[in-house]
């Protein structure tokens, strides 16, 4: 068997729609308050895409930035891995929407359904293809249009205030620099908690998949056991970071920069405390964008790469936790 190739991130990109919705804007739609939202989640505003746009449109914008950053052309991309929980259509997946929008050749387009861990799952899929030599450069996408499926009334306020729209992408490729590259990925799931955070309808377990009665009962919106999600996130994220570090015979102090999924500022503060690491070793943008699920990690990567917050040679550790439950970590030398 030929040796596996080392893999690295060649470029990053992100895009958020221009329309800003502050907590004060949400106060006009439901019984909530800026104080409640900031105190519980750290979120101050989020972006909502205009009707008519979908995740593939946001991802296409982000991809152009990543191509420029990597010095590549659309024709250099050999495959797309698209992670989202808010796709353009129920089917086909958003990967083919993006393939068409970008005007790539007839390259394969994979779609992943791993919610807030979707980007790390996507990174693992892409890494495996590149390491084995099957493809050279893969566009890994995390993108969400959450605004389409949140109940922006008081009945849905526990979930609705947390989410926003956005896209983040990376282009992954073979690595010729022995001092850089993706070192490891560790992924997990526990379907025993599949109902703790879900959007059940339309459901292919039902016939018909959605009825007027379900719509009247607002069954087509997500539901969440927030406390259970919180409790599991603050346990699983440090656990999977330690798993990555142990695998690479490293310690939390060896990491230069931590990139966490942006679900809740309080979760990330608790994870950092658990790892006994200073706030200066991480970066959060949840205050400006809310929780963008699969897009959150690549959006943070892009802002940090562009601002120089993450520098070539830095040891970067990413970690996520989300619906499913699914969680994971990735360690790379930037």
- Residue 28 in contact with ligand ACO, rule: CB under 6 A: no
- Residue 38 in contact with ligand ACO, rule: CB under 6 A: no
Output the DSSP codes for 309-328. SS-TT-EEEEEEEETTTEEE
Rounded CA separation 255/324 (Å): 28
Rounded CA separation 75/148 (Å): 32
Question: Is residue 291 flagged as an active site residue?
Answer: yes
Site for ligand ACO in 222-241 (CB under 6 A): 224, 226-227, 229-230, 233
Tokens of 180: 């850089």
Q: Closer to ligand ACO by CB, 68 or 218: give it.
A: 218
CB 64 within 8 A of CB 301: no
Instruction: Provide the 8-state DSSP code for 16.
Output: -
CB 156 within 8 A of CB 310: no
Distance of closest approach, residue 135 Cβ to ligand ACO, in angstroms: 29
Binders of ligand ACO: how many residues, by CB under 6 A?
Answer: 21
Please identify which of the residues 261, 264, 304, 317 carries the catalytic annotation. Answer: 261
Question: Is residue 146 flagged as an active site residue?
Answer: no
Does an H or E element contain 33, and which? none
Please identify which of the residues 114, 151, 232, 291 carries the catalytic annotation. Answer: 291
- Residue 263 in contact with ligand ACO, rule: CB under 6 A: yes
Task: Tell me which residue has its CB nearest to ligand ACO.
Answer: 226
CB 30 within 8 A of CB 195: no
Residue from 267, 247, 263, 261 nearest 331 by CA: 247
| Secondary structure (3-state) at 209 | coil
Distance of closest approach, residue 33 Cβ to ligand ACO, in angstroms: 6
Per-residue binder mask for ligand ACO (CB under 6 A), 273-292, x = binder: ------------------x-
Q: Which residues are catalytic?
A: 116, 261, 291
Residues in touch with ligand ACO (CB under 6 A)? 32, 36, 40-41, 116, 157-158, 161-162, 197, 224, 226-227, 229-230, 233, 263-264, 291, 321-322
């Amino acid at each position: 068997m030929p040796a596996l190739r080392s893999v690295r991130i060649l470029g990053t990109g992100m895009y958020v729609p221009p329309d800003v919705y502050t907590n004060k804007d949400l106060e006009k739609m439901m019984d909530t308050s800026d104080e409640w939202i900031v105190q519980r989640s750290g979120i101050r505003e989020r972006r909502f895409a205009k009707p008519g746009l979908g995740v593939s449109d946001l991802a296409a914008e982000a991809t152009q930035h990543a191509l420029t950053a990597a010095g590549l052309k659309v024709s250099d991309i050999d495959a797309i891995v698209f992670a989202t929980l808010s796709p353009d259509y129920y089917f086909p997946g958003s990967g083919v929407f993006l393939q068409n929008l970008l005007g790539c050749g007839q390259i394969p387009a994979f779609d992943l359904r791993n919610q807030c861990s979707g980007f790390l799952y996507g990174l693992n899929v892409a890494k495996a293809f590149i390491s084995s030599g099957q493809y050279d450069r893969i566009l890994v996408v995390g993108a969400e249009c959450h605004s389409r499926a949140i109940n922006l009334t008081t009945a849905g306020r526990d979930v609705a205030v947390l989410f926003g729209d956005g896209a983040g992408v990376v282009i992954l490729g073979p690595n010729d620099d022995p001092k850089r590259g993706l070192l490891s990925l560790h992924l997990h799931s526990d379907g025993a908690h599949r109902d703790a955070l879900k959007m059940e309808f339309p459901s292919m377990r039902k016939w018909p998949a959605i009825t007027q009665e379900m719509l009247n009962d607002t069954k087509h919106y997500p539901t969440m056991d927030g406390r259970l999600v919180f409790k599991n996130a603050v346990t699983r994220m440090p656990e999977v970071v330690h798993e990555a570090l142990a695998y690479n015979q490293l310690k939390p102090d060896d990491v230069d920069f931590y990139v966490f999924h942006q679900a809740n500022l309080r979760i990330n503060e608790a994870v950092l405390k658990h790892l006994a690491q200073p706030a200066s070793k991480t970066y959060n943008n949840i205050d400006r964008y809310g929780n963008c699920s699969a897009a959150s990690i690549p959006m943070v990567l892009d802002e940090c790469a562009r601002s120089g917050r993450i520098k070539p040679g830095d040891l970067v550790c990413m970690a996520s936790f989300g619906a499913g439950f699914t969680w994971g970590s990735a360690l790379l030398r930037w």
